[in-house]
Chains A and B, each alone.
Chain A
Amino acid sequence: MTARKKIVNSFIFLFLSALAIAFLVPIFVVFLNSFKTKFSIVGSPFELPTQETFVGLENYIYGIKTAGLLKAFGLSLFITVSSVVVIVVCCSMTAWYVTRVKTKGTRILYTLFIFSMIVPFQMVMYTMTYTVFQLHLNNPVGIILVYLGFGSGLSVFMLSGFIKSVPIEVEEAAMIDGCSPLQSFFLVVFPILKPTAITVAILNTMWIWNDFLLPYLVLGADKTMPVAIQLTMQGAYGSINWGGFMAMLVIAIIPIVVFYITCQKHIIKGVVAGAVKG
């Protein structure tokens, strides 16, 4: 490396470092403010907590005790995990079925799945909510079915794209070895699908954990994290406990950061794969 190139590279390094810090500042500010008194947040969010403004975990305790933070967190976790499991299992089964059974019906179904990917939520927002209430699916279990229906487009599309590349001979070998279709699927096909299933699970986890409008419209009194956060702010400005609110934001961000740090490789790979295919 030439001397000039070295200098250029260290400049780039400095620039990127500065930018990285700038990228982290917003999250850091929220984190900081979650330890300040509720009156010292709005107006001066960039000030570090001082002896007078530092309140320790008080905001978190308030959030848990009064704002139903733990309940919302638990509900979000329940809905996200169970919906993702249901989506991954059901959609890989469906994807396998529509890929391996070639009839007019499966072709139409597949086209409809792809079509559903481009339809914006607002198009079905009102009518879907109506249908869900009619069928009494407006509860934390019923919403799993709704997520399955909404998530099926992208998930079936991605999974069947992968299944098409799996040699059919492997399944034929399984059949000769004595597998029923169910055994073929769960003992042979699904394990092979695993990398794509992980991608699908990640994309759906990010979507459902962060989703606001659907649970807001469907669930009513049961609040997921994003709904709880929004509803806190929908009240009058003056009466908001900003300290508790900051604690809520932190609690909403932490699982994502943990999730990101633990399976970063899968997430980045999955998101890129999702983008390229979608």
Chain B
Amino acid sequence: MQKNIRKYFPVFALPTLIAFVVAFLYPFAMGIYLSFTKFTTVENAKFVGFDNYIQAFSDKDFLNALWFTTKFTVVSVLTINIFAFFLAMLLTKAIKGTNLFRSIFFMPNLIGGIVLGYIWNLLINGVLNKYGVDITFAAKYGFWGLVILMNWQMIGYMMIIYIAGLQNIPTDLNEAASIDGANNFQILRHITIPMVMPSITICMFLTITNSFKLFDQNLALTKGAPGKQTAMVALDIYNNFYGRIGWQGIGQAKAVVFFIIVAVIAFVQLWGTRRKEVEH
């Protein structure tokens, strides 16, 4: 049977493979190479060793972007997950209208980053206007603006995953615990949270990577202003490529660093899940 299908490689696998090579594989390899060169167009690339990486890490904008991104990620991951978990707890109680609430909370997730960014740009500026400032006045406005936006977008999504996790807990477990004399808080601490641990890992991973890779929302909401104080890593790399002549190589080096950070997060997550699977 295998042999039979194998002959059909050009039909089944080749189109995807070509697209994959053109859009991803070849550009990825070229990107690694270019991060070691100085170039303005790809044709004039000159090998410079680790120069780009050294310059990247001595670039104040990049370090600031890394710090800003990390701060943003920590704050939004915590707020999103706490709110989402809390909402999921409420929505798994027997309350009327659960489905409607669920649908409403989830909806913002479907709206694209650029549109989201401008919706909140309008709203936040509308509020700040009353105090005579706007979102680009200080970095803290942009920071909290992004956090609010991210919460609005992601809470519903994470809530859905938590609800799925909570519904998987057998009810007799809670009953057994309350017969054993556990109070509500103890049940949450010793039964509910350990049992939804798989959902927590998924949500943590999703919120971390999504926050870390944020671009569209960042571009639409603040564009990095004031100055470059609210530019996150993805935006900083973008600016190097398309806004700063001669910085393409450095931008590419930053992109490689960015990729490595995201890959490490992914592997830690994978390793964490694997380890847990062994334990069960």
Which A residues have a C-beta under 8 Å from some C-beta of B? 9, 12-13, 15-17, 19-20, 23-24, 26-27, 29-30, 33, 41-46, 90-91, 93-94, 96-98, 100-103, 106, 109, 112-113, 116, 118-128, 130-132, 135, 137, 145-150, 152-153, 156, 171-172, 175, 181-182, 185, 206, 209-213, 226, 229-230, 233, 245, 249, 252-253, 256-257, 259-260, 264, 267-268, 271-272, 275-276
Kindly state whether residue B245 has any CB partner on chain A within 8 Å: no
A253 touches B115 (CB 8 A): yes
A12 touches B95 (CB 8 A): yes
Given A127-B27, A127-B42, A128-B24 in contact, is the A109-B17 Cβ separation under 8 Å?
yes
CB contact list, B8-60 vs A, under 8 A: 8-9, 11-13, 15-28, 30-31, 34, 42
A12 touches B93 (CB 8 A): yes
| Assembly CA distance A268 to B13 (angstroms) | 30
B106 touches A268 (CB 8 A): yes
Q: Which residue on chain A has the smallest CB distance to residue B35?
A: A123
Kindly state whether residue B192 has any CB partner on chain A within 8 Å: no
| Across-interface contacts of A135 in B (CB, < 8 A) | 22
With A12-B90, A94-B17, A124-B28 given, can you name 9 additional A-B contacts, CB distance below 8 Å?
A: A44-B129, A97-B13, A127-B252, A175-B1, A210-B113, A210-B216, A213-B216, A213-B238, A229-B115
| Across-interface contacts of B195 in A (CB, < 8 A) | none
Q: Which of B16, B115, B256 contacts A152 (CB 8 A)?
A: B16
How many chain B residues touch A (CB < 8 A): the figure is: 89
Which B residues have a C-beta under 8 Å from some C-beta of A? 1-2, 4-9, 11-13, 15-28, 30-31, 34, 42, 87, 90-91, 93-97, 100-115, 118-120, 122-123, 125-126, 129, 152, 156-157, 160-161, 164, 202, 206, 213, 215-216, 219-220, 233-234, 237-238, 241, 248, 251-252, 255-256, 258-259, 262-263, 266
| Across-interface contacts of B220 in A (CB, < 8 A) | 230, 233
A185 touches B12 (CB 8 A): yes
Q: Which of A98, A101, A148 contacts B19 (CB 8 A)?
A: A148
| Assembly CA distance A118 to B42 (angstroms) | 25
A-B contact pairs, 13 of them (CB 8 A): A16-B91, A16-B101, A20-B101, A27-B108, A44-B126, A90-B19, A97-B12, A116-B25, A125-B255, A145-B22, A149-B23, A253-B115, A267-B110
Question: B228 to nearest A CB, angstroms?
Answer: 16
| Assembly CA distance A130 to B41 (angstroms) | 9
| Across-interface contacts of A185 in B (CB, < 8 A) | 12
| Across-interface contacts of A127 in B (CB, < 8 A) | 26-28, 30-31, 34, 42, 252
Given A100-B2, A123-B255, A209-B112 in contact, is the A109-B13 Cβ separation under 8 Å?
yes
| Assembly CA distance A90 to B17 (angstroms) | 10
Given A123-B28, A252-B115 in contact, is the A181-B5 Cβ separation under 8 Å?
yes
3 nearest CB pairs, A to B: A149-B23, A210-B112, A149-B19
B20 touches A113 (CB 8 A): yes
| Assembly CA distance A131 to B25 (angstroms) | 11
| Assembly CA distance A211 to B112 (angstroms) | 7
A123 touches B31 (CB 8 A): yes
